Amino acid sequence: MLQKKKTEDVISFDNVSLSFGPDNKIFSNLDIIIPKGSFHFLTGPSGAGKSTFLKMVYLSQHQTAGSVFLFARNTLHINHSEIPYIRRKIGVVFQDFRLIPTLNILDNVALPLRVRGVETRKARSQAAELLDWVGLEDAMQRSPLTLSGGQQQRVAIARAVIGRPEILLADEPTGNVDDEIALKLLHLFEELHKVGTTVIVATHNRSLPHTFHHPEIFLNQGTGILIPPSSVPVFRNREGK
């Protein structure tokens, strides 16, 4: 690949391979660089390794060969005790949401602020603002168990962004919501990107990179290809505004 590694790269995969057994090779010699503040879509067919790629960035899956760098650290040299601190800089929307069933949705969203020591009232007030924004203002006291998949997804997104993470990882964030909400969520990611967040959105929907004019990392059969944004952005005028 022609990209050159720089110190401001926030994530880089250097000749990375991953196998879950002799007949289950997921990645072969993957070289991918994610510069700080960039926005990438991670695409590829089902089973291509999109979720696994995000797990590697989130330090919940290690490669079997090669090196992964996160915030300029080789992930193999990160101590177990450091992982929670590093993860605080990463907002993540898992494909299966992973909300906490014993907390209502207001406290689920407030949690990243609470673990950083923000006082309950302030954390809840910010969480309420975000829940209002994602259209769940009437559901704040409910248990996540009572919500639909699309509603849980919106809670998971609010929780991922509340701490203004340096990196936002979203795994199929538009998978369970209707088109209008999907667009709204992607515009929220755009806003975060504009204030400097590095964003990676995994999606099987290959029209999104064109609609949002961001590069695409296309995973397929163990390899990753970087596809630059299309030259005709859909949501911008000729001056690029």
Ligand X SMILES: Nc1ncnc2c1ncn2[C@@H]1O[C@H](COP(=O)(O)OP(=O)(O)O)[C@@H](O)[C@H]1O
Site residues, ligand X (CB under 6 A): 20, 24, 26, 44, 46-52
203 belongs to the binding site for Mg ion (CB under 5 A):
no
- Which of ligand X, Mg ion, none sits in contact with 43, Cβ below 5 to 8 A by type? none
Least gap, CB of 172 to ligand X (angstroms): 8
Least gap, CB of 32 to ligand X (angstroms): 15
- Which of Mg ion, ligand X, none sits in contact with 26, Cβ below 5 to 8 A by type? ligand X
Binding-site size for Mg ion (CB under 5 A) equals 2
- Which of Mg ion, ligand X, none sits in contact with 228, Cβ below 5 to 8 A by type? none
Phi and psi at residue 211, in whole multiples of 5°?
Answer: -60, -40
**Comparison of 143 and 223: residue with beta carbon closer to ligand X:** 223
The CA distance from 214 to 216, in Å, is: 7
- Which of ligand X, Mg ion, none sits in contact with 47, Cβ below 5 to 8 A by type? ligand X
Among 12, 43, 51, 198, binds Mg ion (CB under 5 A): 51
- Which of ligand X, Mg ion, none sits in contact with 197, Cβ below 5 to 8 A by type? none
**Comparison of 139 and 200: residue with beta carbon closer to Mg ion:** 200
Between the CA atoms of 79, 35, 183 and 60, what dihedral angle is there, to the nearest 10 degrees?
A: -20
Least gap, CB of 84 to ligand X (angstroms): 22
**Comparison of 51 and 198: residue with beta carbon closer to ligand X:** 51
- Which of ligand X, Mg ion, none sits in contact with 52, Cβ below 5 to 8 A by type? ligand X
The CA distance from 95 to 225, in Å, is: 23
**Residue, CB closest to Mg ion:** 51
**Comparison of 53 and 111: residue with beta carbon closer to Mg ion:** 53
Whether residue 15 contacts residue 67, with contact meaning beta carbons closer than 8 Å, is answered with: yes
**Comparison of 44 and 165: residue with beta carbon closer to ligand X:** 44
Least gap, CB of 171 to ligand X (angstroms): 7
Instruction: Determine if residue 47 is left, alpha or beta; phi over 0 gives left, psi from -120 to 50 gives alpha, anything else beta.
Output: left
From the CB of residue 6, how many other CB atoms can be counted at a distance below 10 Å?
10
Site residues for Mg ion per CB under 5 A: 50-51
